[in-house]
Amino acid sequence: MTDERMGDALGAAIARAAAAGAGVIVRHHASSVAERRSIAREVIASGALLGVSRDSELAAELGAALVHNPSGDPGDLPFSLSVHDETQAREAAHREPALVFVSPLFATRSHAGAPALGESSARRLALMSGRPAYALGGITLERGEELVKNGWAGWAGIDPWL
């Protein structure tokens, strides 16, 4: 996941994620479409799998693998959804995204002060969604590896790549 907080570390973070075989979801929500397009092209050039947050048109234009939390109809693109609570888990079960990101598992800098779900509550939400679930929020490389060993489809984060 990307966001504006990454600043000058963005390029190196994309390269590290690509080298690890990770996908990158461009989430720079406060940035212009042109800037998000430029970042997405950097992701493509790195060899990482591209996801685009919210903007289905940009995702389709760039041949993204998926659109995350599409703001409208994702068309033929696979999509993912965020799951923070039972309502969103039920919505995911109904809408049948390709995958969900359950968060925040742990305390995170990007949502300082927000209560963490903890692993058991997060796993319950993942099961409610009925979709492959990726852990997000306060994930380190070590935590991510452990979560995958414990049955999560994968993990996502910002800080592990900085």
The answer on pLDDT for 117 being more than 90 is yes
The answer on pLDDT for 148 being more than 80 is yes
pTM: 0.93
* Domain residue extents for the chain: 1-74, 78-156
State residue 112's pLDDT score.
Answer: 76
Summary mean pLDDT of the chain: 94
pLDDT digits (tens, 9 = 90+) for 60-115: 999 999 999 999 899 999 999 999 999 999 999 999 999 999 999 999 877 778 88
pLDDT digits (tens, 9 = 90+) for 37-59: 999 999 999 999 999 999 999 99
State residue 132's pLDDT score.
Answer: 98
SS3 string of the chain? CCCHHHHHHHHHHHHHHHHCCCEEEECCCCCCHHHHHHHHHHHHHHCCEEEEECCHHHHHHHCCCEEECCCCCCCCCCEEEEECCHHHHHHHHHHCCCEEEECCCCCCHHHCCCCCCCHHHHHHHHHHHCCCEEEECCCCHHHHHHHHHCCCCEEECCHHHC
Structural fold of domain 78-156: TIM Barrel (3.20.20)
The percentage of the chain sitting over the pLDDT mark of 70, rounded to a whole number, equals: 100
